[in-house]
Structure 1
Amino acid sequence: MLQSQASSPDPHARQQLALAETFFNHSVSCLVILDRHYNFVRVNAAYARACRRDINDFVGHNHFDLYPSDTKAIFDEVVRTKRPFVTFTRAFEFAEQPERGVTYWDWTLVPVLDAKGEIEYLVFSLVEVTERKRADEALRVAALVYTHSSEAMMVTDADNRILAINDAFTQMAGYSMADVAGKNPRLFGSGLQDTDFYRAMWQALEQHGRWHGELTDRRKDGSLVAVRLSINTVYDEHGNVDRRVALFSDITDKQRAERMIWDQANIDGLTKLPNRHRFRECLDQYLKKAQRAGAELALLLIDLDQFKEINDTLGHDTGDLLLIDVARRIRDCLRPETTLARLGGDEFAIILDDADALQQLDAIARQIIAALTTPFKVGPEMLFISASIGIAKYPHDAQTIESLLRHADQAMYAAKNAGRNRYFHFTSALQEAAQRRMSLTNELRGALAAGQLEIFLQPIADVETGAIQKAEALLRWNHPSRGLVSPAEFIGLAESSGLIIEIGEWVFRQASSYLRHRRALGDSKFQISINVSPVQFKNDETLSTTWLGHLEQLDLPPDGLVIEITEGLLLDVTAEVRSKLFTLGRAGVQLALDDFGTGYSSLAYLKKFDIDYLKIDRVFVRNLEYSSDDLVLCEAMIMMAHKLGLKVIAEGVESKAQHAMLKSAGCDFIQGYLCSRPLPITQFEALLGQAAPAAPAMKLR
C-alpha cells in the first residue's frame, strides 16, 4: 500500500500499516488505487477476480483505457472539487466477457491529498450488486403486477391471516383491505363446499405446497362468485411456511355460459327435464352400476294418448302448457331422486333402480295413469288425456341400452293396441310380434313387384232394390308362405314405412281399370270406392293432379270414383291436404267419410269438405235391435246426413233383421256379408253376371 515518508516509523504506525495492508489484500470489496491521472497504482485480489485478470495486469495501464465508462465525468468532478467522497451505482458490461451481460456495481470514490492539499491518489471501492438489483427489479415488477393485475390476488401469513389484497380482488369480491386485514379467508365462504372439500385442499397445501381448483365464494354484498383458485406456498430459509399467495379468476360468466351450453345439449327447454341425449347417458350409468352390483332396474316409457289431437286442435301453445303439467304430475308420482326425462314430443321415460320402487313397479305405473286421466285445466280449456306405458327390466328383459329401450317400446306399443290408458310389461310374445311386424314390413317391400297384392271387391247394395251400384276395393296380400295376410296386419306397416304411397297408387290404377271395364259393359252408374290413407294425402304431392289426369286418359268421369277417408285425416288437415281434397271434389270425385261415429265426429267436417257419403261403422250395426240405443243412434245419423244432403252407407250388415231396421230408418245403401264377402274380381264378376248391361239386383239373403 502507500508507504509513509518517515524513514523510521514508530511501532504503532508500523502496526497500522500492516493492518491496512491486510485489509487491502483480503477485503471482499474490490479496492483500487489510481494516481491523479487515473493510472493504476495498485488493485487488490478481489478487484482482479471481478475483472477476471491477473493482479499484475493493471500496472502501467490507465483505468479508462482498460474500461471506458461514463464514470470518468464523476472522477473529473471529484478531482476538480476535491470532494471528500462520492458514492454511486453504475451498470457495466465487460466487452471481453459478453456472457456476463449487464452487471451492477456500487462505487465509493475517495480522493487522497498530499501535504500541499493537492490530489495525489484516488481510491475507490466497488461492490457488485447485480443480484440485488435484479431482485429489486423483480420486486418492482412483482409490485406492478400485483397492483395492476386484472387477476385478483391475496397474501396470507403462516397462520392464514390476510396480509394483503390487490385492487382486482376488491373489484371482484367487494372487500377493501380495511375489511379483511388480519382475518381468515373463510370470511368469503359460500357454504357450498363441504368439509371434505377443504380437507383435501389443506392436505394438498401441506404435502405439495400448492393447490388448484374451482369453488364458489360469496361477495361482500352476499352474491355468489365462481372462481378458479391457485394457492402457492412461500417458505423461509428454514423451510417453514412464510406466506401463501392466492390467485383468483372470476369464472362466473364462463360457468354460466358453459351451463347454458350444457343445458341446451342435455335439458329439455320446455319441461326442464333431461332430454333424450342426457337420458341415454343416465341409463348407461345406471346399467353399469346395476351390472357391477348384480342389481335390477326398470325402464318405463310413457306415451300420451290423444295428445296429437289436442295439439292440432288447440295449438302448440296449449300443447306445451299441457306437457309442462304432465311432467309435473309424473314427477309427483316419483321420488325426488328418480330420473324422469322427456324424450321428445309427448314421450317420457323413467328409470327405477331403487329396490323399494322396483317392488312397487305396478303401483307406480297405475299411479301415473291415474294422475294423467284426471282432467287438466289449461287456460279456459278442460283437457282429457291418458297414457300408455311400456315396461322393460334389466337383466330379465334386456342387457343393453338399445334392447331395453326397444323392449319397453314394444310393451308400450302393445298397451296402445290394447286400448290405451294402461301399462304392459315386456314379454317374449311382444318380441315375437315385433319381429313379425319387422319381417312383414321387409317382405311387403317386394310384394307389389312379385305380384302378391290383389284387389278384392265388396258390393254395396241399394237398401230398397238390392241393386249393386257400387263396390269398395279392398287390398289383399297373398303371401307365398303365410297365406292370406289380413289388411289389419299390414296396412299400418305400409303406412309407417311409407310403402302406402306406392301401394295406394297401384290400388287406384287397379280400381280405375276395373271401373273402365264396368263402364265398357254399359254399367254407366257404377262407382268404385277406394280407401286413401292420410299418409298418401300428406306425402304424395301430386296425388290429386295425377289421379285426375289418369281418369282423363281412361276417358272416365271423375264421379265414378269415391275416395273414402277417415275423420283422423280431417283432424290433422293441412293447407296442402285441404287443397287436394277441394281439387278432387271440384273435379267431381266423391268423398265418403268412413267409420263415422267412432272418432272425433264433427258436423263441421261434413259441410266444410263437401262430403257425399257417410258410412256408419259396423260397431253400431252389429247389435241392432228394435229397442236398442244403437238403432236410435243409427236413425239419428241417417236423419242428420239426409238433412245435410248426404247419402248413408251402413257397414257390417249381416242379417235380414239389420237390413229391415236400416231400411225402416231410411238408410240408402248397405255393405256387409248379407250382400257378399269381399271377392276376387273374377268372382265379383260372376256375382254380378258378366254380361249384365245395367246394375243387377241382388237377392238379399
Structure 2
Amino acid sequence: MRQAEDRDPDRLMRAILSRAPVGIAVIDYDGHYISVNPAYAEIYGYADEEMIGRNFMMIFPGESQAAVMIRHQDFLNAGAPFSGEWNVVRRDGERRVVWASSVSFPSGNGRPYRLVYVLDITDQKKAQEQERIAATVYQTTSEAIMVIDANQRIIAVNPAFTRLTGWTFAEVEGRNPRMFRSERHDEAFYAEIARVVEAEGVWAGELWDQRKSGEHYLRETTVTVVKDALGQVKNYVVVFSDITARKSAEDIIRWQANYDSVTGLPNRHMFGDRLAQGARQAAESGKTMALLLIDLDRFKEVNDTLGHSAGDRLLAKISARLRESERPGDTIARIGGDEFALILTDVADASEVEAIARGVLGHFETPVKIDYELVFITASVGISLYPGDTQSLEELFRNADQALYAAKGFGRNCLHFFTPVLQRAANTRMRLATDLRQALAEQQFVVHYQPVIDLKTGRIVKAEALLRWNHPTRGLVSPGTFVPLAEEAGLIVPVDDWVARQAIAEVARCRRLGVADFQIAVNQSPAQFRSAAFDGIGWVQELSRQGLDGSAICIEITEGLLLNAEPLVLANLIAFRDAGIEIAIDDFGTGYSSLAYLRKFDIDTLKIDRSFVANLEGAGLDICEAIIVMAHRLGLTVVAEGVETERQRNVLKSIGCDYAQGYLFSQAVSAEAFEAMLVEQMGGASADERWKESAE
C-alpha cells in the first residue's frame, strides 16, 4: 500500500511543489490562480488559500496592470514570451522586484493554462545598484583610493590616485605601498599604524608620502580592513587626499594669530589663553601658578642708538635665552615692545619661583652681540602668585605689573614679589641657604624613620628614611624648604650621602634586633646620580663595612630621572642594580613614566602617590588598582603612601597592594623610637594590632 502511494504521480508532484524553494503557480486562461505553492504565496505575503481563485493581477501595482494584461494576452494568443523582471506589490504594500517566467500547457477544456516560476530578486537588485553607485564613486571621486591585498600588494587604484600621485595602475600593480613612503616618518610610526589597523580595523590620520616626481606631500588618510566570511583579512582599502596646501595655510594663519613675528614667542593673545589654562590647572591641582613680568631695562636707548632693526635682533636673541627658563608646561611670551611674561605652572612655593626668576636674571649677565656691537642689557622682574595673591587673572597681571614697578624702583636688574610678606619670605630663604652650609658641620640634621607595613601580616618590614633639619633658632625646617636650597647650593650630594650612611647603620641595628631582611628606603636627589660615577658615591662602600648586601637599601627616585636620564645617570642606575640595591619610583602616577624604562632598569617597587590614596572613594581607587595590577604583571611590588584611615588600609589590602605607610600606622619617628617599635613587634604585637589597641 505504501509503495503504491509513493508511486502516485499526483501525490509526488504535490510534495515536490510544496517543498520547492522557487515560487510556482498555475493560472487559468482567464488569469485566475488554480494552484500556488507555499514559496509563491510567501513572496507576496499571502497564505496559499488566499490566492486560489483570485486574478493574478492582484500582485501588480495599479499603474502597471494595463501593460501586464497586454503581455498576458500576447502570451495566450501568440505564445509570446512572458518572462523577465517585474515590479510587484506584497499584501502589506511593500514593493518588491521579481523575476518570472511562464510556459503554457493544455487543459482539459481546450483553453491553455499558464505555469509561472518566480524568484524574489529585490535584494540582488539593491546590491547591484549599490555596486553601480560605488563603482561610479570609485571612478569619479576626488579622493584617491588604493586597494591592497592581504600580502601587501596593490591590486586596484582609481583615477584620482593617478592624478594625485602621478603613478598609473600599470606602474604600481602588484607592488608594495612602501614605494610611496617619504623619509619623514620612522619605522615606529608605520608600525603603530599597522598595530591600530590590526586591533581596531581602521586607522585615520595624517602622514607624509611622495609622488612619482619625488615631491613630498601631506595626505589625510584612512586605512580600512576588509575581511572575508571567516574573519580573515581579504583587502585593505586606503582612501586619501592631498592636504598640504590647506595645512600650510592653516598653519600660517594659526601662527600669525598666536605668535610674535619678531621673536617667535607666543603673543599677547596666546599668553591670555595660557594664563587662563594655568589658572584652571592650579585650581584642579591645588598648586601654585606664578606670573613673572620681565621688562628690559633701558631698551629704548638701544633703539635710539643702534636703530629699530638692531632692537628687533636684540629682542630675538633675548627671547632665545629666556626660553631656557621654560619648564614643561610653562609659557614665555612677548606681550609688548620690550616686555615679556613667563607663566610658571605647578610650582611648590615662592622659593621655587624665586629660583627660576633669578635664573631669568642670570640670562642677562652675558652681553649680546649685535653686528659688531656688544650690548649690555639687564631686566627687572615682577612676580605675582595665583591663587595666593588673587583669584582674578586681571588682578594677577596688575599685581605683577606693580611688583615690576617696584623692582625698577629698587634700581633695576632685580626681582620683586607682589607683597612685602612674600619679599620677606624670600629674604628668609636666602638666609636659610647661608645657614644650610653650617648644618652638616654642626650636626643639625637628624634622620627619622617611618614604618612600612606588610599589608598581609600587618607587621613592620621596611622603613623610609626622612631627613629633618633642626635649625638652632627656627626649630624644625620643612624638607620642602631646605632640600631645593641644598640642590641650588650644590650641597645635596653630601647631605644625601650622610642620610644614606645613617640609614645603613640603622638597618644593621634593626637586623641585629632580629628583623631578618629588614630594608630602609632612602630618597636620592637626581643630582646624586649626575655628580659622580657609581664608584664615587661614598656610602655604597658603607654597606660592605656594615656586613650588609645591596638588598638592605632601596633607593627612591622620581619618574623624571628615568625619562630625562643622561648617560652618567643611566650608568649609575645600572650599577646600583648590579650591586643588588633595589630601586623604587616615588610618587608614581604623577609624572610620565614609561613602561619601557620600568623594564629596562628592573625597577623593584612603585610607590603610589598619596593623592590617589586620599581619593580612594573616587577615581583614586581605579588608579590604585590599575597601578597594582600593572606592577604585579611586571613583577614589581607596590607601596601605598599616605594611608591615614583603616578603610584606606582595608581597601588597599583588598585590591592586592603589598605594603603601606602613613599616619594610620605611625608618623616618622626617631631611630630610638623606631627601634622600640620593632622590639615591641618582636614580642608578638603587629603594627595593626598596636594601632587597634591605641584606638581602643
- In the superposition, the TM-score normalised over structure 2's length comes to 0.47
- In the superposition, the TM-score normalised over structure 1's length comes to 0.47
Greater Rg, structure 1 or structure 2?
1
